[in-house]
Chains A and B, each alone.
Chain A
Amino acid sequence: MLDTLLFILIVLPFLAGLGCYVLRAEGVRSLIVVATGGILAAASVMLYFQTPFTYPVEASVQATLFGVSLDEIIMVADFLLLAVILYFGVRHKNAIIVALAILQGALGAYLEFGLIEHAPKAYPTFVIDTLALVMVLIISIVGSLICVFAIPYMKEHEHHLHLPASKQPRFFLVLVAFLGAMNGLVMANDLAYFYFFFEVTTLCSFLLIGHDETEIATKNAVRALWMNSLGGAALMIGIVWIYSELGTLEIAKVISQQHTSAAMLVALGLLCFAGFTKAAQMPFQSWLLGAMVAPTPVSALLHSSTMVKAGVYLVVRFAPAYADTNLGLAVALCGAFTFLGTAALAVGQSNGKKILAYSTISNLGLIVACAGIGTPTAITAAILIIIFHAVSKGLLFLCVGTIEHGIGSRDIEDMRGVYGKMPVTALITMAGVVTMILPPFGMLLGKWMAIESSAGSLFVIVMLALGSAITVLYWARWAGGLMSVEGGEKFKTESQAALTRAPLMILCFGAVVLSFLAPWIYSDMVVPLIKLSPYAVAAGGLQSGAGSFAVIPLFIVGLIGFGVAINALRKARSSHAFDAPYMAGIQSPAVAGAYTGPMNKPVVVTTGNYYLSAVFGEEKLTPYGNFAAIALLVLMFALGGLF
Chain B
Amino acid sequence: MPRTVVPFGPQHPVLPEPIHLTLHCEDEIIKEAVPAIGYVHRGLEKLAEIRDHNQMVQVVERVCGICSMIHAAAYCAAVEQILGIKPPPRAEYLRVVWSELHRMHSHLLWLGLYADAFGFESLFMHFWRIRERIMDVMEATAGNRVIISVNVVGGVRRDLTPEQQKWVLSEVDWVEKEVARLKDVMMNDYTVKKRTVGVGILSKEQALELGAAGPMLRGSGVAQDMRMTGYHAYGELGFEPVVETDGDSYARSNVRFREVLAAVDLVRQAMAKLPDSELATAYKGRPKGEAVMRVEQPRGELLYYVKSSGGKYLDRVRIRTPTFANIPPLCAVLPGLELADIPVVVLSMDPCISCTER
Contacts and interface: CB of A to CB of B under 8 A. Distances in A.
B34 A597 contact: yes
B28 A610 contact: yes
B7 A595 contact: yes
B22 A598 contact: yes
Interface stretch (A214-222, A373-381, A540-548, A579-587): A579-587
Interface residues of B, number: 19
Given A605-B7, A611-B27, A598 B2 contact: no
A606 B22 CA distance: 12
Given A584-B12, A586-B20, A598-B34, A611 B7 contact: no
A608 interface: yes
A584 B20 contact: yes
B343 interface: no
Nearest to A614: B27
A607 interface: yes
A212 interface: no
A609 interface: yes
A309 to B, nearest CB: 33
A603 B5 contact: yes
A610 B11 contact: no
A86 B12 CA distance: 67
Interface string A607-640: 1111111100000000000000000000000000
A604 interface: yes
Contacts of B9: 584
A605 B36 CA distance: 16
Given A598-B20, A603-B22, A608 B11 contact: no
A611 B1 contact: yes
Given A586-B7, A586-B10, A597 B2 contact: no
Contacts of B20: 584, 586, 597-598
Contacts of B2: 350, 413, 606-609
B26 interface: yes
A602 to B, nearest CB: 11
A605 B5 contact: yes
A607 B4 contact: yes
B35 interface: yes
A536 to B, nearest CB: 47
Contacts of A586: 7, 10-11, 20
A608 B3 contact: yes
Contacts of A584: 7-12, 20
A157 to B, nearest CB: 26
Contacts of A598: 20, 22, 34-36
A608 B23 CA distance: 13
Interface in B308-351: none
Contacts of B11: 584-586
Interface residues of A, number: 22
A604 B3 CA distance: 11
Contacts of A610: 27-28
A583 B7 contact: yes
Of the candidates A584, A598, A608, the one having the most CB atoms from chain B within 10 angstroms of its own CB is A584
Interface in B123-157: none
Nearest to B21: A598
Contacts of B27: 610-614
A583 B10 CA distance: 9
A599 interface: yes
Contacts of B5: 603-607
B26 A603 contact: no
B3 A606 contact: yes
Contacts of A612: 27
A306 to B, nearest CB: 33
Contacts of B1: 350, 608, 611, 613
Contacts of B28: 610
Contacts of B7: 583-584, 586, 595, 597, 603, 605
Contacts of A604: 5
A606 B4 CA distance: 5
Interface in A293-330: none
Nearest to A603: B22
B127 to A, nearest CB: 26
Contacts of A585: 10-11
A609 B26 CA distance: 8
B95 to A, nearest CB: 39
Interface string B21-33: 0100011100000
Nearest to A584: B7
Interface in A112-149: none
Nearest to A350: B2
Contacts of B35: 598
Contacts of A605: 5, 7
Contacts of A608: 1-4, 26
A598 B3 CA distance: 18
Of the candidates B2, B3, B11, B34, the one having the most CB atoms from chain A within 10 angstroms of its own CB is B2
Interface in B249-273: none
Interface string A570-606: 0000000000000111100000000101110001111
Contacts of A350: 1-2
Contacts of B8: 584
A606 B23 CA distance: 11
Contacts of A606: 2-5
A94 B11 CA distance: 63
Nearest to A413: B2
Contacts of B3: 606, 608
A592 to B, nearest CB: 15
Contacts of A413: 2
B234 to A, nearest CB: 40
A147 B12 CA distance: 53
Contact of B22 (A597, A607, A609, A613): A597
A357 to B, nearest CB: 19
B351 to A, nearest CB: 16
A376 B115 CA distance: 56
A598 B23 CA distance: 11
A176 to B, nearest CB: 39
A597 B36 CA distance: 7
A221 B322 CA distance: 64
Contacts of B36: 597-599
Nearest to A411: B2
A585 B10 CA distance: 7
Nearest to A605: B5
A612 B29 CA distance: 10
Contacts of A614: 27
Interface string B112-126: 000000000000000
A599 B3 CA distance: 21
Nearest to B36: A598
Contacts of A603: 5, 7, 22
A595 B23 CA distance: 13
B349 to A, nearest CB: 19
Contacts of B12: 584
B54 to A, nearest CB: 38
Contacts of B22: 597-598, 603
A613 B1 CA distance: 9
Nearest to B11: A585
A582 to B, nearest CB: 9
A613 B29 CA distance: 11
A584 B34 CA distance: 15
A586 B9 CA distance: 8
13 contacts: A585-B11, A586-B20, A595-B7, A598-B36, A603-B5, A603-B22, A605-B7, A606-B3, A607-B2, A607-B4, A608-B1, A610-B27, A613-B27
Interface of A: 350, 413, 583-586, 595, 597-599, 603-614
Interface of B: 1-5, 7-12, 20, 22, 26-28, 34-36
Given A350-B1, A584-B7, A603-B22, 7 more contacts: A350-B2, A584-B11, A585-B10, A586-B7, A606-B2, A606-B3, A611-B1
User: Which 10 A-B pairs give the minimum distances between C-beta atoms?
Assistant: A608-B2, A585-B11, A598-B36, A413-B2, A584-B7, A607-B4, A598-B34, A595-B7, A597-B22, A610-B27
